[in-house]
Chains A and B, each alone.
Chain A
Amino acid sequence: AQSVTQLGSHVSVSEGALVLLRCNYSSSVPPYLFWYVQYPNQGLQLLLKYTSAATLVKGINDFEAEFKKSETSFHLTKPSAHMSDAAEYFCAVINTGGFKTIFGAGTRLFVKA
């Protein structure tokens, strides 16, 4: 069975600092991996996805994530945080050809001025 673990329920960074949100996955087959973002009182939006092509994936708003099979990780990064990045971020996994998407518990990002 697939699972996703997000390390840290809350992360706080200063504006302009590096953002690093951690995600580790468990899957018996090559996974499809996703990051979603949720702004307050809204649904989730797809930020980026990994689908077995390039291991470094670029998404919207300068976010990117790197798939590392040896570490079973898919960490999300952004070089310079903006106040508008404050939101909750979810890592998710789905098996290739699978029907179910499994989400992590989420990491809330706070950005300090």
Chain B
Amino acid sequence: NAGVTQTPKFQVLKTGQSMTLQCAQDMNHEYMSWYRQDPGMGLRLIHYSVGAGITDQGEVPNGYNVSRSTTEDFPLRLLSAAPSQTSVYFCASRDPRDTQRNYGYTFGSGTRLTVV
């Protein structure tokens, strides 16, 4: 099925470790974003991309890096994991030309990350 695929679904890291959360979409969407979801805080934008080779920071970018070498993939890298990065991470994509959805996102199913 077409959509946004996130891997892994669950991950436990030790403080100081690094890792990459994978996100891939097969809908040829130009725009992709990473959000983190924490209780009582909704979704906060970490980084976003409006096309291959173009990325920018969101509300909470510190401690995270992204790259967009292809339209399909938008990995999120944690450079040195900290307990404050324990969260659920969502990748989302949208097509600005899609008049049916008009800027609405398609979300992945999330990655639940625990940093100990």
Contact = CB atoms under 8 A, between A and B. Distances in A.
Interface of A: 6, 9, 32, 34, 36, 41-46, 49, 51, 90, 94, 99-106
Given A32-B103, A34-B104, 4 more contacts: A36-B105, A43-B90, A101-B105, A102-B45
B102 A99 contact: no
A6 B40 CA distance: 11
A43 B108 contact: yes
Interface string B91-111: 010000000011111111110
A76 B23 CA distance: 31
B31 interface: yes
Given A49-B103, A100-B58, A90 B43 contact: yes
A105 B90 CA distance: 15
A-B interface, 10 closest residue pairs, ranked by CB to CB distance from nearest? A43-B107, A105-B42, A46-B104, A103-B43, A51-B102, A103-B42, A44-B107, A43-B109, A106-B42, A32-B103
Given A100-B48, A100-B58, A90 B103 contact: no
Given A9-B40, A44-B90, A100 B45 contact: yes
B42 A94 contact: no
B46 to A, nearest CB: 11
Nearest to B50: A99
Interface of B: 4, 31, 33, 35, 40-45, 48, 50, 56, 58, 90, 92, 101-110
A43 B31 contact: no
B43 A99 contact: no
A99 B48 contact: yes
Contacts of B50: 99
Contacts of B107: 36, 43-45
Contacts of B31: 99
A36 B33 CA distance: 16
Nearest to B35: A103
